[in-house]
Amino acid sequence: MILSKSALRFTVIVTSALFLSGVIAIAGFPQTSASNPQAPTNTSPKPVRHSVSPYHLTSLTTHAANRYESIWGVDALEVKSVESGQLIRFGYRILDPVKAAQLNDKKVPPALIDERAGVSLEVPTMENAGQLRQSSTPEAGRSYWMVFSNRGKLVKPGDRVKVVIGKFHADGLFVL
């Protein structure tokens, strides 16, 4: 089989390109310390560090706010670390007292859950004051709060937490 000059040139160019790409690929691999004393002996890949975004969603989305307002009659949900991190304060404003009655019911124990830390915080009961939460008859337009004990400071600002009071579940709340 006889190749024309152009076919022969094409074959030589393709063969040369394949050869050079193989040489370049081989040169890119680290050599062992026996063949090159200056090469590093530890060729294990470095762990990949994932950076945490400095941008956090600190308020509820419009959809979530509308959901809490329509189902539970509350808005302005807020979770803050207070008293040097020893307490976590959950605050909310009542829009519809009938829908929000369960949030102020003393018979229903609240819990603040942080899945990252693996903890469920409770509202502490003081000898003279009772539970550290407001439990009066809810009124529209008033803001209410409850405080969770954070002994050991396991829940930190920046965490995402869930507040559960009976059937009320507020998920993904950002701790300020």
Model's pTM, two decimal places?
0.65
Please state, rounded to an integer, the average pLDDT across all residues of the chain: 79
Task: Give alpha helix (H) positions in the chain.
Answer: 5-27, 62-72
Smallest Cα–Cα separation from 156: which of 84, 78, 59? Answer: 84
pLDDT at 111 over 90: yes
Greater confidence, 159 or 132? Answer: 159
What confidence tens digit (pLDDT) does each residue in 27-63 have?
555 555 555 556 555 555 555 554 555 555 566 788 8
State residue 175 phi and psi, 5-degree precision: -80, 120
Greater confidence, 93 or 13? Answer: 93
Q: Which helix (H) or strand (E) holds 13?
A: helix 5-27
- Which range is least confidently modeled, 33-37, 138-142, 172-176? 33-37
Residue with tokens 């407001």: 134
Enumerate the β-bridge partners of residue 163: 112, 170
The whole-number pLDDT of residue 89 equals: 95
Residue 72: pLDDT band by 50, 70, 90 thresholds?
Answer: very high
Is residue 100 helix, strand or coil?
coil
Read off the tokens for 69. 């307002």
The whole-number pLDDT of residue 1 equals: 54
Greater confidence, 110 or 62? Answer: 110
Q: CA 132 to CA 93: how far, in whole Å?
A: 17
Read off the tokens for 145. 């709060």
The whole-number pLDDT of residue 63 equals: 86
Pairing of strands 110-114, 87-94: unpaired
